[in-house]
Amino acid sequence: MLSRERIETNLERVRQRIAAAAARAGRDPGAVRLVAVTKTVGLDEIRVLQDAGVAEFGENRVEQARMKIPALERAAVWHMIGPVQRRKCAEVAGLFDQVDAVDRPEVAEALDKRCADRPEPMPVLVEVNVSGEASKHGFAPDELPDALERLAALKNIRVKGLMTMAPFVDDPESVRPVFAALRRLAVAHGLPELSMGMTNDFEIAVEEGATQVRIGSALFC
Ligand SMILES: *Cc1c(COP(=O)(O)O)cnc(C)c1O
């Protein structure tokens, strides 16, 4: 495992970079939540982050989540950040507190069925393939109005915002238009949450309005 000091230093640096990016855009740094992506680490690293005040975590695979989430002593807000398979919706509903990457109506409908027992509807984000890359999941921007209408009819999930994965590029500045486009879509649909930005590009995402950044590598390097 990485040493506690190492993780704490990385975290401090990430927090500073988020705050500086927010300040550059005239935003309140408190309006940007860090979702620590723990897919490459184990329980000890997660506990170090919890000790340092990190409250939200992300996993992209049910197999990993099922080993980690129930084993932790302390509660946290767990985001499912990867694509959800329909047959895994029951388990996703049982393990996670938010589903960040709803990328097909069929997944939303299957998840809705499995969330019927929750006291509150499951918060979800709708993934948008802004860049149009064939390898990326998510709705095309022009499919979004119909998709949101369809999802609004589902009573056990509630759409809080949009999520995107920007193309991986050497110069993160070049993905700024992707983040700006996602923000415009969210504003147009009255959605408050924007999950965008990873290790490679989170400062640009914060400048463009991210309310949640999903960061793994920068914390565990
Ligand atoms: C792994 C992952 C991240 C974190 O990526 P880093 O580059 O390690 O910060 C964010 N979002 C999703 C969907 C991921 O799978």
pLDDT for position 216: 98
Q: Does the beta carbon of 199 sit less than 6 angstroms from any atom of ligand 1?
A: yes
* Stretch (H or E) spanning 205: helix 202-207
pLDDT for position 51: 98
| Ligand 1 pocket test, candidate residues 17, 98, 214, most atoms within 8 A of CB | 214
Q: Does the beta carbon of 216 sit less than 6 angstroms from any atom of ligand 1?
A: yes
- Number of the ligand 1 atom closest to the C-alpha atom of 101: 13
- Number of the ligand 1 atom closest to the C-alpha atom of 218: 9
pLDDT for position 1: 84
Q: Does the beta carbon of 210 sit less than 6 angstroms from any atom of ligand 1?
A: no
pLDDT for position 158: 98
pLDDT for position 44: 97
Chunked into runs of 10 residues, the chain (221 residues) has average pLDDT values of 96 98 98 98 98 98 98 98 97 98 97 97 97 89 97 98 93 95 98 98 98 98 96
> Rounded to the nearest whole angstrom, what is the distance from the C-alpha of residue 199 to the centroid of ligand 1?
7
Strand bridging mode 212-215 / 33-37: parallel
| Whole-number Cα distances in Å, 209 to 23, 44, 52, 113 | 12, 32, 25, 32
pLDDT for position 119: 95
- Rounded-to-integer distance, Cα 86 and Cα 88, Å: 5
Q: Does the beta carbon of 60 sit less than 6 angstroms from any atom of ligand 1?
A: yes
Q: What is the pTM of this model?
A: 0.97
pLDDT for position 7: 98
> Rounded to the nearest whole angstrom, what is the distance from the C-alpha of residue 71 to the centroid of ligand 1?
22
Q: 21 with 203: CB under 8 angstroms?
A: yes
pLDDT for position 87: 96
Task: Please identify which residue in the block is written with the tokens 């960040």.
Answer: 100
> Rounded to the nearest whole angstrom, what is the distance from the C-alpha of residue 91 to the centroid of ligand 1?
21
